Amino acid sequence: MAVAIAITDLIFLIILTTIPFSISQPTEKAPPPTADSCNGIFLSYSFNQGAKLPPNLTVLARQPYRFESTLSILNNGLQELKSWKVFVGFQHDEFLVSASGAVLADGNSIPGNVGNGTVFGGFPMSNLKTAIETAGDFTQMQVQVKLLGTQFGVAPPNNPMPSNISLANDGYLCTKPILQGKSEMHVCCSPDPRVKTNITTSEEFLARQNGDLTIMYDVTRTYDSSYWAQVTISNHNPLGRLDYWKLSWDWMRDEFIYSMKGAYPSVVDFTECIFGRQGTYYRDLDFFNVLSCKRRPTIVDLPPTKANDTTLGSIPFCCRNGTILPSHMDPSKSVSAFQIQVFKMPPDLNRSQITPPQNWQISGVLNPTYKCGQPVRVSPSEFPDSSGLLLNSTAVASWQIVCNITHVKKDIPKCCVSFSSYYNESVIPCRTCACGCSLNSARTCNATSPAMLLPAEALLVPFENRTAMAVAWAGLKHFPVPNPMPCSDNCGVSINWHLYTDYRNGWSARITLFNWGEVSFADWFAAVQMNKAAPGFQAMYSFNATTLELDGSNSTIFMQGHPGLNYLVGETDGVNPAKDLRVPGKQQSVISFTKKNIQGLNMAAGDGFPTKVFFNGEECLLPKILPANNIRRNLARFIPSILMIGFVFLFIQQ
């Protein structure tokens, strides 16, 4: 019996040694069988589990629940997927706490709200290779993102599934998502055959992208434990602008800023290093010289007085006080740059191990809202050689961050517009709460009541001093007086557009800029879109002005101050602060138009008023109504009297 068992074991061993096999411990979970039918990029979203969270609310739609899900991205195609981006259509007011192997592609940090859907980008693994390149190694072909967060209102046994998942990379088409059971959604995305590209799969880097604003992160020198990088901010939008810019990002590998040239952290703080891993590793480093150990530092520009400072400045395009202009205003002022010395932490202590910071955000004072993508590796940038010879030196590595101007419904405007005209004595002021109102406003004013019509002189005084003038004007004109009174517009900058004249061959307007804030604006600009009347633009008399082509249309008129008059000061005290009102900064000019070759213009009906107004790139909120044309109504009222006077005159003559 024992001999029979031994012979059986021997035969089984011979069979095993003659059949090829492999034993592996993959770090990535194998994809589901449905992925086999996808010859492109296979995406899947799986809800794993959830639980009710305190507090216990009576409003079930606001009851919080924990959710754990997995987002998988698998490259089953023929081309490497570089810098992958996936949209997940969250729809249950989700608050994301963590996401392993991914970051938010819009530059926001985690944790954060993603309830309206969000785009994930890969980090640290941003590129997915093909099965051909890796012999089917899922660890290089696939990423699985573990999501943890809070959702509201979806109680078990229901599952909080997204409305959609899709690949956000350009040049791909995705099928309609398929819901498998109640807890899994998957979709297949393939290259769009209509998209033509000159990039070959053998190229190492993605092509540089266009955007309203681009940021380059160029590593210029590298050592085992540190490196130098140059950050260059470039404005490409003709109406884009930044004043007193602030730039922030997230370090992902416990890096810290040792020194800088051309810019500085808004707060110099090294305490987090002393009490963190950095202080333990760099025992002999004098952290008193370290500029910032914050995981998310905020960088600000230096004033022009530091431009030639050999310690803090001496960097081309640095030290502009945070001002970046459109290139058509001044190409040399459309770029800002600074250099930064970064110290790294284990296990990244070699020259080639460089991780760019993520989650970039940039903002200014009374400027457009920018949303920035994640860094994308591009071909190394070239710089003029420091030797002065006519040759260029290349960066060690370069990443590009693309930022675009966005308009979100919840964004609050930062400037507003009032309308007035020669044919109506009342000014239509800026809207109530045009630039937002505090939550406590309801105690003192009405945040929903329309703004009261004003006499023209009221535009020259601060809002808090207009009440008596507005009430007196309402009494004179028999306008209703709301109780409580409407709230202020709360805007730092307001613009009045006054229809000045209207005659057979042309017309004119007067534009006045008011700065009610404490911040002054150097090299300010404004722009108006006139649509139908814009082709008749002739001249502006106190400003420089020209038509600007946007989106293939010449309907925008761009204006800026003359040299020496391009500074819009902030609000100041009156001559006698004890009794005089504060005085806004003010700039004013008349603009003239012709009606030649433009048919059907009706100035009072709207052709004499702009459809959009911009100040320093920020779109200002317009009134909802236009000044009423009272000329015909007044003529109709006086015609009977004029005729009666005529009849009396004729009777006397007879």
DSSP 340: E
- Dist CA 215 CA 514 (whole Å): 32
Contact 562, 544 (CB under 8 A): yes
Per-residue pLDDT tens over the stretch 167-186: 999 889 999 999 988 899 99
CA gyration radius, the chain: 32
Report whether CATH 2.60.40.290 matches the domain 213-405: yes
Please report where in the chains the tokens 């061959």 appear, as a residue: 505
- Dist CA 418 CA 85 (whole Å): 43
- CA 402, 406, 412, 417 dihedral sign is positive
pLDDT of residue 459 exceeding 80: yes
Per-residue pLDDT tens over the stretch 464-512: 888 899 999 999 999 999 988 999 999 999 999 999 999 989 999 999 9
The CATH number that domain 417-625 falls under is 2.60.40.290
Per-residue pLDDT tens over the stretch 535-576: 999 999 999 999 988 877 889 999 999 988 888 998 888 888
pLDDT of residue 642 exceeding 80: no
Rounded mean pLDDT of the chain?
A: 87
At residue 76's C-alpha, the angle toward residues 72 and 80, to 5°, is 95
Contact 205, 333 (CB under 8 A): no
Burial of 24 (0-12, 13-18, 19+ CB in 10 A): exposed
CB atoms within 10 A of CB 470: 21
pLDDT at 442: 67
Tokens of 159: 């599952």
pLDDT at 231: 97
pLDDT at 573: 85
Number of helices (H), then strands (E), belonging to the chain: the values are 7, 38
Contact 74, 165 (CB under 8 A): no
Per-residue confidence band for 5, with pLDDT thresholds at 50, 70 and 90 = very low
Per-residue confidence band for 407, with pLDDT thresholds at 50, 70 and 90 = confident
Please report where in the chains the tokens 């004595």 appear, as a residue: 425
Please report where in the chains the tokens 């068992």 appear, as a residue: 5
- Per-residue HEC secondary structure of 139-195 comes to HHHEEEEEEEEEEECCCCCCCCCCCCEEECCCCEEECCCEEECCCEEEEEEEECCCC
- Dist CA 557 CA 553 (whole Å): 11
pLDDT at 30: 56
- Dist CA 144 CA 29 (whole Å): 8
Question: Among 406, 403, 412, which residue's Cα sits nearest to residue 431?
Answer: 412
pLDDT, average across residues 372-393: 81
Contact 543, 635 (CB under 8 A): no
- Please report, as a single letter, which amino acid is at residue 608: G
Per-residue confidence band for 415, with pLDDT thresholds at 50, 70 and 90 = very high
pLDDT of residue 17 exceeding 70: no
pLDDT at 171: 87
Question: Among 24, 315, 364, 343, which residue's Cα sits nearest to residue 212?
Answer: 364
Per-residue pLDDT tens over the stretch 251-294: 999 999 999 999 999 999 999 999 999 999 999 999 999 999 99
> How far, in Å, are 122, 228, 261, 314, 317 from residue 308 at the CA level?
40, 20, 11, 5, 11
Name the least confident of 110-114, 335-339, 450-454, 650-654.
650-654
DSSP annotation string for 81-108: B-S-EEEE---S--EEEEETTEEETTS-
DSSP 239: T
Contact 544, 522 (CB under 8 A): no
The CATH number that domain 35-191 falls under is 2.60.40.290
DSSP 629: -
pLDDT of residue 141 exceeding 60: yes
Q: Is residue 233 classed as helix, strand or coil in its secondary structure?
A: strand
Backbone angles phi, psi at 165, to 5 degrees: -135, 140
pLDDT of residue 67 exceeding 80: yes
- Dist CA 161 CA 166 (whole Å): 14
Instruction: Indicate the pTM of the whole model.
Output: 0.81
Residue 73: half-sphere exposure toward Cβ, Cα within 13 Å: 31
Residue ranges, comma separated, of all CATH 2.60.40.290 domains in the chain are: 35-191, 213-405, 417-625
At residue 126's C-alpha, the angle toward residues 22 and 91, to 5°, is 105
Non-local CB neighbours of 305 within 8 Å, separated by 6+ positions: 319
